[in-house]
Structure 1
């Protein structure tokens, strides 16, 4: 009986880690917006929310292979509408006093001109 419980616990643990790792692999989101240029802190896109209000999405990183197809570092594509696929990574940083702060980084993983 004890061996069955240990086996079941191991099985459920394995299933849990398998499912969470699969969710991490597909952890991307999409956004439709107009390219607004690059600043030193990232790539800006203008989107429209449900209330027809404009908002800015800033992406700090971009997959390097995308820069070969889309020269976002020039001004040529400013005003172009894109479907942006991106992922968000979260890191926890601690300061000298031990306080923790979550830092989110948005990385473009796919671009499609609309």
Structure 2
């Protein structure tokens, strides 16, 4: 009987670990775009769709180590083309009335100047 209890407890621990690890892993997405500057709300890149339409992709955060190689907080790199890799995370924020709202936050995790 103790063997079954230990086995079930062990399997439950493994299941919870895998479930937690799966929730912390994030997929990455990569696109090519022309850097258009930094605003208070994020880093802007102009991307061109398959139809030839331009649109702005705004990414709110950047891995701090990338800023040492690519100082996106200055105007020096505006107009430069990059391959941008980012992750998406859902965060819950409260508005001024105390209501919770889910917000998608994009974080740049890799940059390559093209």
> TM-score scaled to structure 2, two decimals?
0.78
Match of 1:85 in 2: 85
**Secondary structure of residue in 1 paired with 2:74:** coil
For residue 32 of structure 1, report the CA deviation from its aligned partner.
1.1
User: Could you list the runs of 5+ residues in structure 1 that have no partner in the other structure?
Assistant: none
**Secondary structure of residue in 2 paired with 1:90:** strand
CA distance in 2, matches of 1:88, 1:19: 19
User: Could you list the runs of 5+ residues in structure 2 that have no partner in the other structure?
Assistant: none
Residue correspondences, number: 114
Match of 1:40 in 2: 40
> TM-score scaled to structure 1, two decimals?
0.78
User: Which 4+ runs in 1 deviate beyond 4 A?
Assistant: 6-10, 95-98
* Mapping for residues 14-93 of structure 1, pairs under 5 Å: 14-15=14-15, 17-18=17-18, 21-22=21-22, 24-93=24-93
Report if the CA contact (8 A) 2:26-2:88 is conserved: no
